[in-house]
Amino acid sequence: MIDKETALARCQELVALAQKTGADAADAVARANASESVAMRLGQLEEVERSESEEIGLRVFVGKRSASIHTSDFAPEGLKALAERAVQMARHAPEDRHSGLAPADAQFTGDLPDLELDEPDQPDPAALREAALATEEAARAVEGVTNSNGGSASASRAVVALATSTGFARGYAGSGFSLSASVVAGEGSSMQTDHASRGARFLSDLPAPETVGSEAGRRAVERLNPKSIASSKLPIVFEPRIAGGLISHLLGAMSAPAIARKASFLLGHEADELFDRAIRIVEDPLRKRGQRSRPFDGEGVRCGPRELVRDGRVTGWLTNVSSADQLGLELTGHASRGGGGSPGVSASNVHMEPGTVSPEALMADIEDGLYVTSLFGQGVNTVTGDYSRGATGFRIRKGQIAEPVAEITIAGNLLDMYRALTPADDLEMHRSINVPTLRIDGMMVAGE
């Protein structure tokens, strides 16, 4: 895999070639990834996989016409041909008056902060195998577990570099480590499967393999002998590992490109109290060792902490250059970029501030409700906010988690759900979107 310095040099070279070929402006982004994973199943080696990829993308502008193209060929002759092809494509593209590069005064300058994203020392395959085996063995040791889909351990490194014709040129590297296990409980038609996983930037930040494995086993066993549930309106409590999905829908609706396309359920609600006034949602792309930390966005714009929801209201839309120009807004440092294509929008390291009561206290007054532990299906309308998804979890009876339930659908509208949302105090910060246990009253539950 190429290093950060080589990736950055190739980006600068490609931008210069594009300008020499006739581009008025250009930017180039390079990404390189290397990963290694080991999977064990039933105590035996199942798979060892190593992969490497390198890609460089070029975006050129000829007036207000633009084109994007990418390649995995980093050789000088390959880059020259790429630049020539991109400029030729741009000359025949339709004009887009909103397209362009970020202005130099909005881009990151100075030394990059040390966000502690990269641990260069990677574990060898033997260490990964040992961790995968320990994870699976802990899951299989849980009473009631009858089979295993396997345990795995992985390590990866990535390099990102970006250069623009405005003079911006920066790059950074990051590492990632993960543990996971998936096991089966029960026999025959009553079998249930569940899993557990954890990821971290540094190996030392991962929990012990035994912790991850035992969680997978416990979750599978707890799902045995599920019941259905009569259709009704109930209070629903979402466990933290799935509750972040509700905030992910909010972030998508806050995307300025979605607002510009009039394809967001938040359109017309920017001044409304969407949540209780106590709700605060924060983004911090500069959090050390964060899963989505980055010093600059996909267009080179400086990133920084930001309140996304304050006093129950959204604080504005998440922009890139094109959408900011369309809507007459400032750049917010939210451009996301792959190797090819135009920049999109994404947020980094988002969390909801915790509430003031424990999860147990949050559900203590629920006579009859639902504790949701998994969701499936894609029944979310991002234009209207209508929400309908399959779910499994547990019945709540008289404030206590009771028997498992399955084959149910929960439904509502995200605007109504946000207004009724109450967080517990059990926030943990190890995901890209971190949310405590959430309670939402009055959702529709469809079952038997």
The structural domains of the chain, ordered by start, are 4-221 (3.30.2290.10), 226-448 (no CATH)
Mean pLDDT confidence for 116-125: 93
C-alpha to C-alpha distances, 447 to 167, 373, 403, 411, nearest whole angstrom: 59, 16, 15, 11
Cβ atoms of residues 388 and 409 within 8 Å: yes
Q: Which residues contact 372 (CB under 8 A, 6 or more apart)?
A: 236, 237, 238, 239, 242, 391, 392, 393, 410
Which pTM value belongs to this model?
0.96
pLDDT bin (cut points 50, 70, 90) of residue 9 is very high
Residue 162, Cβ neighbours under 10 Å: how many?
27
Question: Angle at Cα 157 formed by Cα 154 and Cα 163, nearest 5°?
Answer: 155
Residues 38 and 123: beta-carbon distance below 8 Å = no
User: Taking 80 as the threshold, does the pLDDT of residue 174 lie above it?
Assistant: yes
**286: which strand partners?**
none
Tokens read off for 307: 């309140």
Render pLDDT for 264-309 as a digit per residue (tens, 0 to 9). 999 999 999 999 999 999 999 999 999 999 999 999 999 999 999 9
- So what's the pLDDT on residue 396? 98
Residue pair 318/334 in contact (Cβ under 8 Å)? The answer is yes
pLDDT tens by residue, 402-442 = 999 999 999 999 999 999 999 999 999 999 999 999 999 99
The residue written with tokens 């607002």 in the block is 259
Could you tell me the CA-to-CA distances from 283 to 243, 251, 276, 292, 438 in Å, in that order?
Answer: 16, 11, 19, 10, 19
List, as own/partner pairs, every contact residues 130-135 make where C-beta atoms lie below 8 angstroms and the sequence separation is at least 24, other chains included. Answer: 131/38, 131/179, 131/209, 132/38, 132/39, 132/40, 132/179, 132/209, 133/40, 133/43, 134/208, 134/209, 134/210, 134/213, 135/179, 135/180, 135/181, 135/209, 135/210, 135/212, 135/213, 135/216
**pLDDT reading at 448 higher than 80:** no
pLDDT at position 189 over 90: no
Q: What is the pLDDT of residues 233-266, one digit of tens each?
A: 999 999 999 999 999 999 999 999 999 999 999 9
Q: Looking at residue 189, what DSSP letter applies?
A: G
CA distances from 144 to 148, 393, 403, 413 (A): 12, 18, 16, 38
- Residue 167 gets which letter from DSSP? S
Q: Determine the average pLDDT of the residues in 130-138.
A: 99
Place of tokens 């849980």: 142
* Amino acid, single-letter form, for residue 68: S
Q: Examine the pLDDT at 315 and tell me if it is beyond 80.
A: yes
Q: What is the DSSP string of 119-150?
A: --PPPPHHHHHHHHHHHHHHHHTSTTEEEEEE
Q: Coil, helix or strand for 45? A: strand
Percent of the chain clearing pLDDT 70 (strictly above) = 100
What is residue 342's predicted lDDT score, i.e. its pLDDT?
87
Q: Which two tokens stand for residue 120?
A: 């260069």
Percent of the residues in the chain that have a pLDDT greater than 90, as a whole number: 97
Q: How far is the C-alpha of 21 from the C-alpha of 199, rounded, in Å? A: 44
Cα→Cα distances 197→208, 210, 213, Å? 11, 11, 8
What integer is the mean pLDDT of 312-339? 96
Query: What is the C-alpha to C-alpha distance for residues 20 and 183, in angstroms, rounded to an integer?
Result: 57
Distances from the Cα of 173 to the Cα of 13, 132, 342, angstroms: 20, 25, 22
pLDDT given for residue 287 in this prediction: 98
* CA R_g for the chain: 24
Entry field: residues in the chain: 448
- How far apart (Å, rounded) are the C-alpha atoms in residues 90 and 82? 12
CA torsion sign for 5, 123, 156, 296 is negative
Q: What is the pLDDT of residue 121?
A: 86
